[in-house]
Structure formats: C-alpha cells, structure tokens
Amino acid sequence: MATSQAKQEPENYSFLPLIHDIIKCMDKESADVHGELNKLKTRIQEMRDQIQAMPGIDTSAEEQQEALETLRQQVATKNQLLHKYRGLCMFDIPKA
C-alpha cells in the first residue's frame, strides 16, 4: 500500500508542455493537433476532479478563519500549561 505510493511518479501539474506540443503541431500544420488538444482537455478535467476532491474545499473562508483562530487559541492554552507545569519542578528526580 505505502510502497505503491512510493513507486508512483511525482505529479506534474504544469500545462505548459502540453500547450507547447499543441503550438508545435500547429506550426507544422500537423493532424496531431486534435490529439494534443484532447490531452490538454483531459489534463484540465483531471485537475478539476482533484480540486473537487480536496478536503475542506466546501468550507467557506469565514469557517476556515474561525477554525484557524480556534486552533491558535488551543496552541496558546497548551503552551501556557506547558510553561506552568515546567515551573513546578515535579519532574526532577532526587538523588538517593
């Protein structure tokens, strides 16, 4: 499972190579232009599908800001508790 992910190639999110291939086909007046355009359309649709599958894509900006503020408050509270408990010296082990 994890090994199959490790063997996968890194994702390429650039459209420029496809656009370059389309321009080259147009310069040569090649019949491959339609095939290259279909590749570009397929890549665009794949990117749209990936964006729609992203977690939190349906969350509004205000909801994200509220969640972020809540998490920041939790971090601040935990840092205060950490400093408080460090100051208690309960973790020092006396030598016998």
pTM of the model: 0.50
Give the CA distances from residue 75 to residues 12, 13, 81, in Å, rounded to whole numbers and listed in that order: 35, 34, 10
In a domain, 4, yes or no: no
Residues 45, 26, single domain; the answer is: yes
- Among 10-14, 23-27, 54-58, 90-94, which range has the highest average pLDDT? 54-58
Tell me the average pLDDT of the chain.
Answer: 80
The tens digit of pLDDT for each residue in 61-93 reads 999 999 999 999 999 999 999 888 887 766 556
Residue 94 located in a structural domain = no
Per-residue confidence (pLDDT) for residue 22, from 0 to 100: 81
Ordered alpha helix ranges (H), 16-60 = 16-27, 33-52
Domain residues for the domain of 66 are: 59-89
Contact 38, 53 (CB under 8 A): no
More confident position, 1 or 26: 26
Instruction: With respect to residue 27, please indicate whether it lies within any of the assigned structural domains.
Output: yes
5: its two tokens: 């992910």
Please tell me the total count of domains within the chain: 2
- Residue 1 belongs to a domain: no
Q: Is residue 6 part of a domain?
A: no
Is pLDDT above 90 for 19? no
